[in-house]
Structure 1
Amino acid sequence: MSDPVLATRNLNKNFGALRATDDVSIDLRPGEIHAIIGPNGAGKSTLIQQICGGLAPDSGQVLLNGQDVSGYSTQARAQAGLGRTFQISQLCMEDTVLENVVLGAMGTERMAWRFWRPALKRPELCDRAEAALERVGLSDERNTRCANLSHGQRRQLEVAVALTLSPKAFVMDEPMAGLGAEGSKRLTGFLDGLRQEAPILLVEHDMDAVFALADRISVLVYGKVIATGTAGEIRTSPEVRDAYLGDAA
């Protein structure tokens, strides 16, 4: 079995008497999509924030390619190869599609936010941005303001921004949120191919997408992983059916 690209080891986070993550240990292996599912309030967002650097755990570790990145900032984790998309869009709505992706490409540099440098005139950044837009099918929208994109196109743009970092692993927080059936179908097909470039840790409520994509699924309930397995194993688990899936299984 290959060593995991991304892993958590015994992550714990308390908010007063509430245990938001309870001794969570999961891993993401090369070439796979590992989905994290669970009811609202299960601790999924808290877990993602701990993995990506937005929230420090009370105890435990986050490992990227075997390296402990628990003390790294969000930007340092991105520079180390952790690519993230968000549940709520973090794009610059007044900037163009290309400008958003160039800013993402600047995230690979330690002096990324020196805006007085004419980033859009730097061929290496623009080439990286253009290649990412081509990958996600947004090349024709390069000069469109982000605010004028459809919801599905903004999701594609977030993936393009993450691609500029040449990520070793993706963390995607509800990428299907707000998409219609056709948009979800297109994004599902894209993510299915993307796993070969970098594995994907996927938090998602769209069970059709989860069961279509995931090699493994972990179920989080009240901050604790109650089951990890293939789609078939999760569908037939009595504990998972009782705690979350119900008739959706």
Structure 2
Amino acid sequence: MTDVLLETRNVSKSFGALQASKDVSLDLRAGEIHALIGPNGAGKSTLIKQIAGGLKPDAGTVLLQGQDVTGLNTAARAKRGLGRTFQISALAMEDTVLQNVVLGALGAGGSPFRFWKPALKNPDLREVAEEALTRVGLQDHATTCTAELSHGQRRQLEVAVALTLKPKAFVMDEPMAGLGTEGSKRLTTFLDGLRSEAPILLVEHDMDAVFALADRISVLVYGAVIATGTVADIRANPDVRAAYLGDEE
């Protein structure tokens, strides 16, 4: 696994006197799941926003497939092949499950969103949307209003929307949140198979899922990466245990 799909180089971000990201360099390679972990307040969400395009770094570079995308917004990065799910849901709650996914498929095709209602009758877009729902296990909820879904089901729906983009790389911010034990197991199995389609940069607090899925783990503490390595490397690292894993095991 040597092909780098997504990369940050010396990314830094400050909010006044608080340095949320400190010279962060990491990469995501073809076929892998690279987990980003760390205690609350470590700067994970700030870093993900910089990678996804919601926040511009003060310094450093974000690369997607070797191209500098630092100056591009979230939508432009999505069109370049960056699929993402968010810690805070960005779904249209008043729409049905299928409508949300068709909207994702419409955006993936580069069509203006003002045409999304006629797009519901487009058989090709519906097929893409329905396939995505089947893959995440929500095919029986296509006509359900999104507001009626459980928190865990909404996370599954976010993944389905991301799938319609046919991304080159995924960024997932706590996809296991709210799923419960069985839901986490199902999503873990799904993500394990997804990595061969597109690698995943995974931010997650569920350490069972992280240790089951990750090819590599980077540990973020006070905005800086203090270690990167395999699961075995991270488990054995005394600095990581002192900063984070000591609270988990």
Bin for the TM-score computed over the shorter chain? over 0.9
Percent of matched pairs sharing the same residue: 74
Distance 1:60 1:19 in 2: 14
Partner of 1:77: 77
Structure 1 contact 102–125 (Cα < 8 Å) conserved: yes
Write the distance in 2 (CA, Å) between the matches of 1:89 and 1:195: 22
**CA deviation after TM superposition for structure 1 residue 247, in Å:** 4.9
Distance in 2 (CA, whole Å) between partners of 1:247 and 1:162 is 32
The structure 1 segments of at least 4 consecutive aligned residues displaced by more than 4 Å after TM superposition are: none
Give 1:152 deviation, angstroms. Answer: 2.1
Q: TM-score, normalised by structure 2?
A: 0.96
Tell me which residue corresponds to 2:200: 200
Deviation at 1:123, TM superposition (A): 2.1
Partners of 2:106 and 2:116 within 8 A in 1: no
Structure 1 residue 169 displacement after superposition: 0.5
Structure 2, unaligned runs of 5 or more: none
Note the 1:171-190 alignment, pairs <5 A: 171-190=171-190
For 1:104-163, what per-residue CA distance to the aligned partner results, in whole angstroms no more than 9, with x for missing partners? 112124443224761111222112111111211221211111122222221111111000
Alpha-carbon deviation of 1:192? Answer: 0.8
Deviation at 1:207? 0.8
Amino acid corresponding to residue 170 of structure 1 in structure 2 = F
Q: Could you tell me how far apart the structure 2 residues matched to 1:12 and 1:163 are?
A: 30
Relative to structure 2, which stretch is displaced further, 232-241 or 176-185? 176-185
CA distance in 2, matches of 1:42, 1:112: 37
Structure 1: gaps (5+ residues): none
Q: Which one is further off, 25-34 or 128-137? A: 128-137
2:12 alignment counterpart: 12
Moved more, 136-145 or 224-233: 136-145
Amino acid paired to 1:50: Q
On the 8 A contact 1:120/1:126 being kept in 2, the answer is yes
Whole-angstrom distance in 2 between the partners of 1:185 and 1:235: 21
Mean CA deviation greater in 78-87 or 145-154 = 145-154
Assess if the C-alpha contact under 8 Å between 1:97 and 1:143 holds in 2: yes
Per the alignment, residue 166 of structure 1 pairs with 166
How many residue pairs match? The answer is 249
Other structure's SS at 1:94 match: coil
